[in-house]
Amino acid sequence: MNFTRALNNKTKILCTVGPAISSVEKIVALIQAGANAFRLNMSHSSHQTHLESIRIIREAEKQLQYYVPIIADLQGPKLRVADLGVNGGINLIPGREMYLADTEYVKQNKLSYDEVIPITYPTVAKDVKIEDAILFDDGLLKVQVIGKEGELVKVVVINGGLLKSRKGMNLPNTNFSQSVMTEKDAIDLKFAIENKVDYVAASFVRTASDVLRIRKFMQNFGVTIPIISKIEKPEAIVNLEKIIQVSDGVMVARGDLGVEISSALVPIVQKKIISMCNAYFKPVITATQMLESMIQNPRPTRAEASDVANAVFDGTDAVMLSAETSVGAYPIEAVTYMRMICSETERELHLDFHTIQYKTASKEHKTDAIASAAATMSSDPRISGIATLSLSGETALLISKRRPNAPLISFSEKIETVRRVGLYWGTTGFLIEQVTTTDQTIEDIKLMLVKRKFYQAGTNIVITIGRPLQKKSRTNMLSIETL
Catalytic residues: 39, 80, 230, 288
What are the φ and ψ backbone dihedral angles of 29, each rounded to 5 degrees?
Answer: -65, -40
Q: 272: helix, coil or strand?
A: helix
What is the residue type of 258? G
CA 400 from centroid of its chain's CA atoms: 17
**Among 1, 3, 19, which Cα is nearest to 56's?**
19
Residues contacting residue 453 through CB under 8 Å, at least 6 positions apart: 3, 4
Decide if 92 contacts 114 (C-beta within 8 A).
no
**Measured between alpha carbons, how far is 23 from 56 in angstroms, rounded to an integer?**
6
**Among 420, 421, 377, 423, which Cα is nearest to 396's?**
421
The helix (H) or strand (E) run that includes residue 194 is helix 183-194
Bridge partners of 39? 16, 71
**Measured between alpha carbons, how far is 198 from 70 in angstroms, rounded to an integer?**
5
Residue 400's Cβ-count burial label (10 Å; 0-12, 13-18, 19+) is buried
- Cα angle 173, 239, 241 (rounded to 5 degrees) comes to 150
**Measured between alpha carbons, how far is 244 from 276 in angstroms, rounded to an integer?**
8
Peptide bond into 468 cis (omega under 30): yes
